[in-house]
Each structure stands twice: as C-alpha cells, then as structure tokens.
Amino acid sequence: MVNDARRIAAHHAELAARDSYGRLLSILAARTGDIAGAEDALAEALAAAVAQWPRDGAPANPIAWLLTVARRSIGHAAGRRRTAEAAAGAVRLLQDEREAAVEAPFGDQRLALMFVCAHPAIEIEAQAPLMLQTVLGLDAARIAASFLVSSATMGQRLVRAKRKIRDAGIAFAIPEPAEARTRIGGVLAAVYAAYGTAWEDVTGADDKLAGLTSEAIWLARLLGDLLPDDPEVMGLLSLMLHCESRRAARRDADGRYVPLHRQDTARWSREMVREAEALLRRASQHAQPGRFQTEAAIQSLHAHQRLTGERFTAPLAGLYDMLASFAPTTGVLVARAVAHAENGDHAAGLAQLYAIAGAGAYQPWWAAQARICWLAGDEGAAERAAQTAAGLSNDPSVRRFLLDGGFREVPAAS
Amino acid sequence: MLLFNETPEEMGKRTDPAQADAYWGGWTAYMGAIAQSGAMVSGNGLQPPDVSTTIRVENGKRHVVDGPFTDTKEILGGYVILDVAYLDGALEWAARAPCVSAGSVEIRPVMPPPPAPTN
C-alpha cells in the first residue's frame, strides 16, 4: 500500500515535471526558434534550482523563477554568440522578466511547439522523437531504444532537426485555421508514431514501442486540452485508449502474447473502453470523418465483437477500405487485406496483399499472408509464411504463437 | 557481424527434450528470415564450450587446454555476417534474435579487406 502511494506520488511528480518542462521549453524556444539553446538554458536553470531551492526554499512562483533564470542564460549565450545584438537582447530580456513577473497563468506555447516538431520540413523519422524530447523532456537514449535505433543515430537526427528549425526559421506559431487543419494530421501522426502501432487483428503484433504508450497518451490528452473541438484529436485518443485498455490482457501469466480473439475481456480496462467510446461518439457528432476516427471505429468494432460475440467482418472490411483511402500506409493495407479475407473474400485479400510493394521484411505482412493463405485453404503456404513471420518477429511469444500454428485459429465468438 | 551470446540456461535448451523444439524452431525461423531478405552473407551456430579447446603460446611454449579461456556469464553461441548498409539495419536484425532476451547480441562492423598490392 505504502509503496503504491509512493509510486503514485512519484508518478504525479513526474507528470508535473513533464508538464512544466514542455511548457517552459516551448516558451523559451518560441522567442528564438533555437530549441537546442533553449534546452541548454532550461537545464542550467533546473540545475540552479536543485542547488538553491533546498537551501533558500522554493520561490513562490517556481515556473516564473525557472523561466527568468533560463532566459538570463539564453541572453548570456546569445550575447556571447552575437554581441551586435546584445543590447537589443538585454532590453528584450528586461521586458521578458517584467512579463514573467506578472504573467500568470502562463501562455501555453506547447501546441505551437508540437506544430513545429511535426512541420513538413522536418524529416518524418525525427518528428515523433523530437516531440517526445521537447514536449515531455524524455532523454535521447530512451527514445532511441524505443525506436530501435542507436543512440548516436537518434542524437544526430534530433540535432539535425533542431538545427533545421533554427536555420530555416520555422515559425513558432499555431498555423492559421485553414493551414492548421492540413497540418494537424502530421502532429497526430507523430503522436501515434510515439505510441507505436499494434495491429492486433493481424496475428503477430509487434509491441516494439511498448515503453512509450503512456507518454503518447499524455501527448494526445494535451492535444485534446489545447484543441478541444477537433474530432481527429478525439479519434486519436479514442484509438489509443482502445488499444491501451487491453494491455493487461495482451500477455498471460507467463508473459506470453495473447491475440485479441483469445484475450480475457474481464482483464480489459472498462474505464478506458468507456472513455474511448464516449470520445468516438463525440467526434462523430462533428460529421468530419478522418483517419484516426476510422481507426478508432475499427478498434471499437473489435471490442464489440469480443464483448457481444457478434461478428462484424463486413463492416470491418468497409472501414478498412475507408482507412486505406485516408492513410494507405503499409500497415493499413496489410490489415485491410486480412479484413477482406476474414470477411470470406480470400481472393481479394490475397490480391491486395501481393499488390503491396516492398513489404519483404515487414513482419505483419508475413503474418497476414499466413492467415489469409490458411483461410483460403492453402495450408503449406500458410506454414511457410508463418515461419518467415516468426523469424522476423522480435517478440519471443509472438514467435511461439506463429510457430505453434496460431494463424489457424478462428476468432472465437466467445 | 552479429555475435549471438547466450546465457548457459538458454544454451541448455538445445538438449532439453521439453524445450529443444521451440529453441531450434525459433533459430530456424530467424535464420530463414535473414536468408529470405537477402541480407545473409554467411553464418554458423557453434557447439557449446564444453567441446572447445584453447591454445596459447607463452615464452615459446604451447599451452593447449580443454574448454574456453575464461568463464563468462554469456557464451558465444553462433554468428552471422550480414550485408546491410548501416548499423540500424543490423540492429533491426539483432533485435529479432532468439537470444536477445536470454543473453545479448553484439554487433561489429567487419573490416574492409586490405588494399591490393600495387606493383
């Protein structure tokens, strides 16, 4: 009990730190466009706080204190870099301090920061990591491990992206409504990439990014606070909550992978399912369908299939068609092929699968092939594909599931 | 080059009737997937250290001993040479190795061959 309380307290402290980190960094970087410089200044301010607060007591307004100290060190650094601008910098700094002293609550620049991170000029692989680092303050090594690249690669990627933001003069501003609508897709996609996809309806989900799911959900909630009327934001949060609600059921007592059709639904988080469903209903009232609402609707149907025992294979195939029109990614196209095969159209499923180019080392493609071939009655091809899918999986229990012929299982109408 | 290090327990699965099928099944699938992707240059599994022999020469004298030179927590169980352009490609394969969660996988670049003599 005590440990639980301590864990919860620690978790809240972490959330608070996360909350103020992104807030402070976005305010600092918004002025200069220099994220790396703002990170250094914030790190200095936090170090100063750690040294002084225990000794002198915490200031009445910790955020204002940190902001002032960080701005001062940005001012110094900028002064060292550009003496010509020093005077102007000092004037601005004084202005800032006056503002900081009276400004409460602080303006929230985090949405602008998220738009900057997901700017089309930033390489796509860097967008989600950049958001995790700048908005949540996660360290590069942890992000690198989640995305399965070396720390050096991730470090370079982040440095390059920050340099680009500074040198290309990418504006720290929330785009005009018309442009925001087109650009929000990139922001949502980056948050979703941080969550990591788990195609639970294809036997062989790879839980590669399991470590960052709660961070990604936190980002989606933040987006929901900042953009309360955007149905796609609701859709993204609904989708993630549906996936997250099954976390406890996705592994058995021995840590083995349990596919959706075998999960014990009593272990699903009903609270998350309820919240996900409410979000999806609220989103649908806007009558502006989009990628994430469609994905959430798919997960909602999967949940209903398990909870009611009904099969919704036809509407699922239709939803996947719709999703493929919004976001024809390899993952979506693979899942769509399986959905059509599950709905009895094996030929269409196979044709769609073989039409996907460059999926040779993509584990879900092979897992899907095993399932579709088996549904079409080609046992030999199914086994060969399952063998390859097992070899491509980096999860021992998914490997086991495939080698033990898990692709043969008819999703039980429990 | 990927060097597959296994814990003694993991290597022990090779000969445990209850676990051998799953053990070899996993490795066969993994090696098959590398081969199928076209990244495989060569590779071998290695027999366990109880059949290894180590030789050293000290002061001109040969010492031949049974077993590995040192006792380590992890045992080299095999290796593959991959043809991939970057570390990240090798990392992706290394993360899929059956022993990555029961041991470790070390990734080492292979040295380029020395330049041909010009005469």
Q: What distance in Å separates residue A127's CA from the closest CA in chain B?
A: 18
Q: What is the mean pLDDT of chain A?
A: 83
pLDDT mean over B20-39: 94
pLDDT in tens, A291-343: 999 999 999 999 999 999 999 999 999 999 999 999 898 889 999 999 999 99
Candidates A374, A364, A384; CA nearest to A408 is A374
Are A300 and A242 a contacting pair, CB within 8 Å? yes
Structure tokens at B114: 């020395």
B87 touches chain A (CB under 8 A): yes
Q: What is the DSSP letter of A83?
A: G
Nearest to A400 among B22, B37, B87 (CB): B22
Candidates A399, A340, A343, A344; CA nearest to A366 is A399
- Interchain contact, A393 vs B88, CB within 8 Å: no
Cis peptide before A259 (omega within 30 of 0): no
CA distances from A241 to A201, A269, B84, B100 (A): 16, 9, 37, 30
pLDDT in tens, A188-217: 988 888 887 444 444 444 454 455 788 889
Question: CA-to-CA distance for A285 and B92, rounded, in angstroms?
Answer: 43
pTM, full prediction? 0.78
A159-173, A249-263, B8-22: lowest mean pLDDT where? Answer: A249-263
Question: CA-to-CA distance for A127 and A135, rounded, in angstroms?
Answer: 12
Question: CA-to-CA distance for A40 and A406, rounded, in angstroms?
Answer: 51
| Sign of the C-alpha dihedral computed for residues A126, A16, A213 and A396 taken in this order | positive
- Interchain contact, A391 vs B101, CB within 8 Å: no
Nearest to B29 among A149, A361, A399 (CB): A399
A26-35, A78-87, A194-203, A373-382: lowest mean pLDDT where? Answer: A78-87
Q: What is the pLDDT of residue A105?
A: 41
Of B43 and A203, which is predicted with more confidence?
Answer: B43
Q: What is the pLDDT of residue B16?
A: 96
With a cut of 70, say whether residue A11 has pLDDT above it.
Answer: no
Q: What is the mean pLDDT of chain B?
A: 91
Nearest to A149 among B29, B33, B91 (CB): B91
